[in-house]
Structure 1
Amino acid sequence: MSVVIVIPARYQSSRYPGKPLVELTGASGEAKSLIRRSWDAAQAVAGIDWVIVATDDARIRDHAEAFGAEVAMTSPEARNGTERCAEAIANLGLSPEIVVNLQGDAPLTPAWFIEDLVAGLRGDAGADVATPVLQCSGRMRADLIADRAAGRVGGTTAVFGHDMRGMYFSKEVIPFAAGDFAADAPTPVFHHVGVYAYRPAALAEYPGWGEGRTELLEGLEQLRFLERGRKVLCVEVEARGREFWELNNPTDVAKIEEMMQRMGAD
């Protein structure tokens, strides 16, 4: 088995309880749950051998199985999606080349983001983990700044070096850049797309390390890899005219539905 996508989903989200079951209405007027849209996004990715929903909640399990998903039940003790992915892979006894964590709050994730991510990790033998980054337009940067000004935790931003190795990830808008940017102009800010590709050995070690200091401060699971000196490859992806946003807060539902309407996405 080569590449497995795991979609970790928990009901008790601190910011948005029940988020995986929230319905989003597409351009055709059809409403589908967030977990269903994540499953559909995973099915559209080329070169994937298996897609699994990993959850600790019977409501999510029953809903996912009803639309045909394969579900792996995991412990409620998993502290984040990476730990849940590690548990699901271990429980199922799988030995894939690469494990992809497609978190269930990014229904607008295009298939090529994940395809480019897998290709990036395959092409860099020194990396333990890979994750996509998307250069922000002035509009996207302004939206991120507006979220923070309103006291909302919106998207995550990434800073990386010339070798594309991740240096830091934050829920603040970094790096700082003075002034404003035109709506469609590129900016020095990169939006971190909440998808990960792991080498199985690094994924298996992750739960045993315990939570790191900056991981706890930021609430970002990928920082545990950096704190342990593991190499996180940032893979720049292209929007190709698609809009992208993650569902982090209840207010994001209307934003994402508006994007789907503009793009004609169902």
Structure 2
Amino acid sequence: MSVLIAIPARFASTRYPGKPLVALKGPDGEKTLIRRSWEAAMAVNGVDRVVVATDDARIRDHAEGFGAEVVMTSSACQNGTERCAEVAAALPGFDIVVNLQGDAPLTPAWFVEDLVQGLQADPEADIATPVLRCDGRALNGFLADRRAGRVGGTTAVFGVGGRGLYFSKEVIPYTGRVYADDEPTPVFHHVGVYAYRPEALKAYPSWPVGPLEQLEGLEQLRFLENGRRVLCVEVTARGRQFWELNNPEDVPRIEAMMAEMASLG
């Protein structure tokens, strides 16, 4: 099956304007967030094409400068899924379209590979998205963010066969206890990557924004609110730390994670 990865990137972020062009210092020097996200996409096996999807000339010029292919999309896109739908319309013929969000440079290649394999193996699923079981360290980080009034990671709950039940920026399910840093927990971090079947992706922009999507600000809830099957694919970190860049405070956290991964080889 042919696979396209689209990396949505917009300059006018409400919480963090200009986020795709923010520089991140790593063991390999200083590179922008969008470049590190593109490099993460290029490391995925079994992908036929990788493009950056943006409506901003500054992001386009920068991305083309480091060798990325860019597809210009409408400024009316409300989220990355709508932006990916425009890419799929402009570049038809792919069996699976992957949305690797431009704020997730630490996404391991096997997350995307496992995701594509999961969608291929479940013909009833309309989209697939990876979930990562939190250890105590990650869960405590989520809880600390919420206590401080920051939007941290998204959590997911799912049923038999990995069928997604709900996604939230709150920490769900409620656990009622404290976990040690290296202890597994029943909370799953939703990793902001999606693999769509083209038909579901084409239909998505035609659906109105529902109350749950509006409240949570989570684009994947539109699929659930319209009765589509969302497959949650459990992935493993293999010792890697993972975090999206949601707020300016996340920059030193991600830089520290990159340094830690480099020290582990």
Compute the TM-score of the two structures, normalised by the length of structure 2.
0.98
User: In the aligned structure 2, how far is the partner of 1:190 from the partner of 1:111?
Assistant: 19
Cα distance in structure 1, aligned partners of 2:85 and 2:18:
22
What is the distance in 1 between the residues matched to 2:242 and 2:72? 29
Give me the whole-angstrom Cα distance separating, in 2, the residues matched to 1:212 and 1:51.
Answer: 30
Q: How is 1:40-55 mapped onto 2 (pairs within 5 angstroms)?
A: 40-55=39-54
- Superposed, which structure 2 residues align to 1:226-265 within 5 Å? 226-264=224-262
1:3 corresponds to which residue?
A: 3
TM-score normalised over the length of structure 1: 0.98
CA–CA distance in structure 1, aligned partners of residues 239 and 139 of structure 2 = 16
Task: Specify the code of the residue in structure 2 equivalent to 1:248.
Answer: N
Q: CA deviation at 1:91?
A: 2.2
Shift in Å, 1:179: 1.1
Tell me what 2:218 maps to: 220
CA distance in structure 2 between the partners assigned to 1:18 and 1:143 by the alignment:
25
Say which SS state the counterpart of residue 253 (structure 1) adopts.
Answer: helix
Give 3-state SS (helix, strand or coil) of 1:159's partner.
strand
Whole-Å Cα distance in 2 between the matches of residues 42 and 262 of structure 1?
21
C-alpha distance in 2, partners of 1:139/1:230? 33
Deviation at 1:212, TM superposition (A): 1.2
Between the aligned partners of 2:95 and 2:144, the Cα distance in structure 1 is: 40
Q: In 1, Cα distance between the equivalents of 2:4 and 2:260?
A: 31
Q: CA offsets per residue over residues 72-128 of structure 1, 9 Å max, x none?
A: 001000000000000111123x12110000001111000000000000000000000
Matched, 1:16 2:16: yes
Q: 1:162 aligns with which of 160, 172, 178?
A: 160
> What's the CA shift for 1:163?
1.6
Residue pairs, 1:102-251, within 5 angstroms: 102-251=100-249
Partner AA of 2:75 in structure 1: P
1:164-193 Cα deviation digits (max 9, x unpaired):
100000000000001100100000000000
State the secondary structure of the residue aligned to 1:221. Answer: coil
Structure 2 counterpart of 1:19, which letter?
K
Residue 88 of structure 1 is matched in structure 2 by 87
The DSSP-based 3-state class of the residue aligned with 2:162 is: coil
Q: Deviation string for 1:132-173 (max 9, x for gaps)?
A: 000000010000000010000010000000221000000000
Structure 1 residues 178-227: Cα deviation after superposition (integer angstroms, max 9, x where no partner): 11001000000000000000000000000000211100100000000000
* Partner Cα distance (2:66, 2:111) in 1: 24
Give the paired residue count. Answer: 264
| Identity across the alignment (%) | 69
| Structure 1: gaps (5+ residues) | none
Deviation by residue 1:14-33 (Cα, 9 ceiling, x = unmatched) = 110000000111124x0000
Amino acid at match of 2:3: V
SS at match of 1:264: helix
Runs of 4 or more above 6 Å deviation: none
